[in-house]
Amino acid sequence: MTDRESLLMKQAFEKALKNKAIVEKDPYRLSYHLMPPVGFLNDPNGLIKYQGVYHVFYQWNPFAATHGAKFWGHYTSVDLVHWREEPIALAPSEWYEKDGCYSGSAIEAGGKLHLFYTGNVKHEDGTRGTYQCLALSTDGIYFEKKGPIVRLPDGYTTHFRDPKVWRKNDRWYMIVGAQTLAGEGRAVLFTSVDLTHWEELGAVAGSGMNGLGDFGYMWECPDLITLNDRDLLLVSPQGLEPDGHFYRNLYQSGYFVGQLDYETARFRHGAFTELDRGFDFYAPQTFTDESGRRILFAWMGMTDDSEQYQPTIANNWLHALTIPRELQLQNDKIYQKPVAELRKLRKKEVRMDHVALEGDQLSLKDMHSAELILDFAEPVVGGFEVYFRREAFLTYDPGSKEVRLQRRNVRTNRMEERVCSIDSLTKLHIFLDHSSLEIFVNDGQEMFTARYFPDPAESGVILAGRAELGVKMWDLG
Ligand code: FRU
């Protein structure tokens, strides 16, 4: 470890220690989501199960609740439910990463944990450098940096980052998010046999490629995965214009389904589908564990014009990750399910098998940190509403077949909404935490993820409308 690296790690550690009391007393601190110990968190990184332990690394600025020279913070778990904070994995100490150890991924090879990440460099004249780097560990906790292994290829700007590595047909592959010199988003494929020498195979998808029209000026955090023998490219494009109820956030995250020809690096794919229809979901990453499940974590946040108004900043922290979700593919559509392990969090079960609402209301108490399952006996034909602690609400209108989530915007103080269309409403599975909502509609056919900041004293959830349903709920606090 270099002197600079140990100094940065020490400074970050001291910052977290000094702020521990103030951060932990924040009423919006979440009870079962991963958060930064202090400062700013964004993307999940390096997701892997290694030597029997789940590892989640994350983009972290320990020194302020804003972007900055990112570290890789680190949590581990044996069950995806109880997490342990580990020593910092990467600090931006070397010349090739001095302005941030940016996002990347993890694989195991030869018994070693390999982290691939982007070294971000901002020069004094305003230009940037970008280096795809490697770091190795034998225990999953302490990492030895090997420096840059992929340089910026011709044809791209220095917005070239977020390597995701996987193995296929006895070779290694890496996909990187990119921007062409003409300002178009791309996902660029590389291959290697030894993990240190990488050959560029070319862009597999991007704005203006494969039948896509204009599709953003930069693609971040690509992830190429296989589900049911189909190849999926998950990616976070920047620069899409809102289109009806689609693309309402500043940046988007979604996927293309198709078939990748690994020989020619040609990816035939269909249309882009958003992974989440809520307000706070970006830069997802996935991994598989030994059970073969494909598990996703995302950043439950977004850098937009309201981010800096979030009330947690007063207590020196900002943002969190989503709960882990299992991905399944049905008819080329991703369905998201909360991982089964989360049932371990359930306490104090309440069950109401037959609830008939006829324009009246049902009040549920103590819903600060809770799980709620609403099973509709028949598809809902009257209207249905859920009010969350007087600060957000979900409505289903069977006439338009639209599900609508509204919450108060922390900057404007006005309600804002996100909307998606479904065929009929059969189920709502909702994870509430002190300042977050994750709503699985019809077993994860559609998702709404949002942060919200209700009066901490307000813990009631109200169900209203005309519907017959079964209600199950648990305290997760
Ligand atoms: C996505 C992103 C990545 C980058 C990282 C920096 O949110 O912009 O492209 O690597 O965040 O923190």
* Cα–Cα distance, 370 to 431 (Å, whole number): 6
The predicted-structure confidence for 414-471, as pLDDT tens digits, reads as follows: 999 999 999 999 999 999 999 999 999 999 999 999 999 999 999 999 999 999 999 9
Give the atom of ligand 1 at the shortest distance from the alpha carbon of 220. Answer: 9
Q: Is there a contact between 455 and 390 (Cβ–Cβ < 8 Å)?
A: yes
**What is the rounded distance in angstroms from the CA atom of residue 230 to the CA atom of residue 140?**
31
Say what the pLDDT of residue 380 is: 86
pLDDT at 367: 97
pLDDT at 119 over 90: yes
44 forms bridges with which residues in the sheet?
58
CA of 384 to the centre of ligand 1 (A): 38
Distance CA 111, CA 113 (A): 7
Return the residue whose CA atom lies nearest to atom 6 of ligand 1: 102
- 97-111 pLDDT per residue, tens: 999 999 999 999 999
Nearest residue to 275 (alpha-carbon basis) of 226, 231, 325, 240? 325
Which atom of ligand 1 is found nearest the CA of 118?
10
Cα(285) to ligand 1 centroid in Å equals 12
User: 361: closest CA among 468, 464, 457?
Assistant: 464
Candidate of 58, 70, 90, 103 to mutate for ligand 1, largest count of ligand atoms within 8 Å of Cβ: 103
Contact residues for 152 (Cβ-Cβ < 8 A; gap 6+):
129, 130, 131, 158, 160
Q: How confident is the model at residue 397 (pLDDT cuts 50, 70, 90)?
A: very high
Give the nearest ligand 1 atom to 67 CA.
Answer: 12
The per-residue pLDDT for range 225-263, each reduced to its tens digit, is 999 999 999 999 999 999 999 999 999 999 999 999 999
Q: Up-side HSE of residue 363: CA atoms within 13 Å toward CB?
A: 7
To test ligand 1's pocket by mutation, which of 162, 250, 280, 318 has the most ligand atoms within 8 angstroms of CB?
Answer: 162
pLDDT of residue 378: 86
Q: What is the pLDDT of residues 263-304, one digit of tens each?
A: 999 999 999 999 999 999 999 999 999 999 999 999 999 999
Residue 281 CA, ligand 1 centroid: distance in Å: 13
What's the confidence (pLDDT) of residue 379?
83
Ligand 1: residues within 6 Å at CB? 42-43, 59, 70, 102-103, 118, 161-162, 220-221, 282-283
Percentage of residues in the chain with pLDDT exceeding 90? 99
Mean pLDDT across the chain: 97
Give Cα 134 to chain centroid, integer Å: 23
Any residues with CB less than 8 A from the CB of 331 and at least 6 apart, and which? none
Q: Which atom of ligand 1 is nearest to the CA of 282?
A: 7
Q: How far is CA 135 from CA 191, 192, 196, 247, in A?
A: 18, 16, 11, 36
Q: Is the pLDDT of residue 113 over 90?
A: yes
293 Cα to the center of ligand 1, angstroms: 25
Assessment of whether the complete model's pTM goes beyond 0.85: yes
**In the numeric block, which tokens belong to residue 109?**
């090879």
Closest Cα to atom 9, ligand 1: which residue? 220
Q: Model confidence at 172, in pLDDT bands (50, 70, 90)?
A: very high
CA 414 to centroid of ligand 1, rounded, Å:
29
**pLDDT tens digit string along 140-169?**
999 999 999 999 999 999 999 999 999 999
Q: Span 179-203, mean pLDDT?
A: 98
Site to probe by mutation for ligand 1, drawn from 40, 41, 43 as the one with most ligand atoms within 8 Å of Cβ, is 43
Domains with residue ranges and CATH for the chain: 3-338 (2.115.10.20), 346-475 (2.60.120.560)
pLDDT score for 55? 99
Q: What is the pLDDT of residue 381?
A: 86
Please, which residues have CB within 8 angstroms of residue 4's CB and are 6 or more apart in sequence?
93, 94
d(CA 129, CA 121): 5
Would the pLDDT of 76 be above 90?
Answer: yes
Q: Which atom of ligand 1 is nearest to the CA of 177?
A: 9
pLDDT (mean) for 16-24: 98
How confident is the model over 362-378, as pLDDT tens digits? 999 999 999 999 999 88
Centroid of ligand 1 to alpha carbon of 416 (angstroms)? 26
Based on its alpha-carbon atoms, the radius of gyration of the chain, rounded to whole angstroms, reads: 22
- The pLDDT value given to residue 417: 98
pLDDT in tens, 192-232: 999 999 999 999 999 999 999 999 999 999 999 999 999 99
pLDDT computed for residue 286 by the predictor: 99
Ligand 1 atom closest to the Cα of residue 303 is 7
- Best residue among 40, 66, 102 to mutate for probing ligand 1's pocket (most ligand atoms within 8 Å of CB) is 102
- Report how many helices (DSSP H) and strands (DSSP E) the chain contains, helices first: 1, 32
Taking the C-alpha atoms of residue 51 and residue 53, their distance in angstroms, rounded to an integer, is 6
The share of the chain scoring above pLDDT 70, in percent, equals 100
- Distance, CA 48 to ligand 1 centroid (Å)? 19
Q: Residue 297 Cα, ligand 1 centroid: separation in angstroms?
A: 15
Give the residue numbers annotated as catalytic, written as ranges. Answer: 43
